[in-house]
Every structure is written in C-alpha cells, then in structure tokens.
Amino acid sequence: MQYVPNANRYSSMQYRRCGRSGILLPEISLGLWHNFGGVDVYENYRAILHDAFDAGITHFDLANNYGPPPGSAEENFGRILKQDFSSYRDQLIISTKAGYLMWEGPYGEWGSKKYLVASLDQSLKRMGLDYVDIFYSHRPDPNTPLEETMRTLDLVVRQGKALYVGISNYSADEAARAIQILNELGTPCLIHQPKYSMFERWAENGLLDVLEKNGVGCIPFSPLAQGLLTNKYLKGIPEDSRAHKSTGFLQENQVTPEAVAKAQKLNELAQQRGQTLAQMAIAWLLKDPRVTSVLIGVSKRQQLQDCLQALDNKSFSEEELNKIEAILKG
C-alpha cells in the first residue's frame, strides 16, 4: 500500500534552531538504536516511521552498529526510505555515526581516518544514500589524535558524503577542543549528542555551557534512562522487559530500589501535571533552550504518540523544578 504522509504534519510539530546553524530540528527526533534491526518486525517499525513523519518528525538518527545485528537498522531504514520516503528525502535530516566496534581487526572501531571513512561509505551503501545530513564521531578516541578524527569529519563534508558533522559522548573539555579544531578547518560542529536525562546529569558539568558558547546544538539520547523514567518499572521488573531479559543496555541490577522509589515520586508529580512520567522527563529536557531536540526510541506506535504528548506541556513552575531536584537528590 502506497504511503501518503499527513498533509498537516508541519503544523503539529515545533522546531528549534540547531545552535548558530541554518538547521531546524523537531523538538522530538526518532532514534533507531533499538527496535529497527534484523531481529525486529518490519511492518511494526515501518509503521512507527510513518507515524513519526506524519507528526512532523523530520530527523531520524542511526549509527553503523545499530541493530542487532550491526548494520541491520541502516539496511532496514534504507529499504523503507526507498519504498516510502524517496520523494521526501529533501524534507529529512538523516544522521549516522561511527566510533564503536563494527568489524573485526584494528580498523573496525574508534576514531582513525581509516575507520571513519570506510564506515561512512558502508553506511551510505546500506541506506542507499549519496550523503547523510549529519555524520558523527560516536565517541572520543583516547589513542588517535583528535586532529585526525576532526580532519576526517572535515574531509567527508568536503567530499559531499555529509552536509554537517557532530560529536557524541565527548566531555566538556573534549568537546571544546573538537569544536575549536573543526572551526579552524572551516567545518563547524553542528551538534553534540550526549546521554542526558533526569537520572544522568553529566552534561551539566560544563558541556551545555561549552555548546551554548560555541553555538553548537544539543540532542540528548536516552532521555528516559532506558525505561527507568517510564511507568514500566514503577512496580518492579516486568518479565517482558529488557532489564529482565538483559538484552539491552539497562541491566536488572540497575533497577535498584532507590531508582524505583525516585521514579515513583517523580511519577506522582507528573500525574499532578497531567502527564505520564515519560512525558515529564522529555519536557524537563526541553525546558532548557540549549537543548535543540530530544532523541527518543520506541518499540510500539503508542509509545511514540505518548512521547509526542510531552510537547503539550513543557513549562515548569519554580516549585515543580525544586520538587524534582529534591526527589533526585533523595
């Protein structure tokens, strides 16, 4: 059946400027880290992508190793892109990354020119694209000179394989150096993707200030702390959850009594605001103007709709913010 997007999709979404660039990103973007791999159900994630675009989500975020198996998320996305979105390519921001282990041997991970160029070439082939909109260095490499990694990001832009570049998982100091090198090369850093949520606050240790000072956007991933900031774990660990199966990055031992108790108190506050815990967690990130977009991952269509409702109430009173801090400091 031919996919026809919602004609009113752009009136329902709000967009924010990404740093000091010409790019606008939707306040919620869709990540394909989980649930879009070879082990997942094609028609389910295809429907999720349709629903996302229908809601005005124009940014889809991938990486070379997303799956499982690694590479399969890009392959599946490429298939759906060709089938359903080929005539809308210029309305989309598609990103991918390289940095984590992708293939065996000394050139299959980290930040060398050898690895980054090869990885991007493979990603483009898997997705059937001539270029990506954003290419990221997925993590800093302690053993490769930062200049080599940043020169490679500059190179792929000059080659036309990426329009913009970004960094992910870089500390404040690492990000400041990377941004400076890229500026000197003439390819400014567009965006930084940190792990950031109410339960994971390291981005507040100078990183957000560095990004604001340099006009770089910020797109937090894991805004729901791998599900801890949803109603899924409020009463313990469900048998069908990733934490119970230990198939994801959230392990059973991370669902501690302390984390559950905090989530329960946060959930009570969310209910008082007329939101779910997940909606409040997303809104809490968007309250900061330095945050360009929040990157969500979903396994069900209804989860996407629930997350989108966070945009209906993004304002917090001083009293609510103080309550949240008191709960988190617990």
Domain extents for the chain? 9-227+277-315
Residue 254 confidence (pLDDT): 75
**Residue 145 scores a pLDDT above 80:** yes
**Residue 245 scores a pLDDT above 70:** no
CA angle 76, 154, 18 (to 5 degrees): 70
Residue 239 confidence class, pLDDT cut points 50, 70, 90: low
Structure-token match 């490499």, residue found? 141
Structure-token match 């994630």, residue found? 45
| 8 Å CB contact between 137 and 153 | yes
Q: What is the mean predicted confidence (pLDDT) over 107-123?
A: 98
What sign for the dihedral angle of Cα 75, 77, 82, 86?
Answer: negative
| 8 Å CB contact between 34 and 297 | yes
Q: What percent of the chain has pLDDT over 70?
A: 95
Provide Rg for the chain, Cα atoms: 19
Whole-angstrom distance, CA of residue 78 vs CA of residue 38: 13
**Residue 246 scores a pLDDT above 70:** no
Residue 242 confidence (pLDDT): 56
CA angle 292, 120, 132 (to 5 degrees): 45
Residues 9-227+277-315: name the CATH superfamily: NADP-dependent oxidoreductase domain (3.20.20.100)
The structure tokens listed for 263 are 């989530």
Whole-angstrom distance, CA of residue 312 vs CA of residue 327: 24
CA angle 108, 113, 115 (to 5 degrees): 15
Helix ranges, 220-276 (H):
242-245, 257-272
pLDDT in tens, 49-92: 999 999 999 999 999 999 999 999 999 999 999 999 999 999 99
Whole-angstrom distance, CA of residue 157 vs CA of residue 231: 42
**Residue 244 scores a pLDDT above 60:** no
| Spatial CA neighbour of 24 closest among 13, 38, 39, 8 | 13
Q: What is the mean predicted confidence (pLDDT) over 184-194?
A: 98
Mean pLDDT of the chain: 95
Structure-token match 């892109």, residue found? 81
Residue 255 confidence class, pLDDT cut points 50, 70, 90: confident
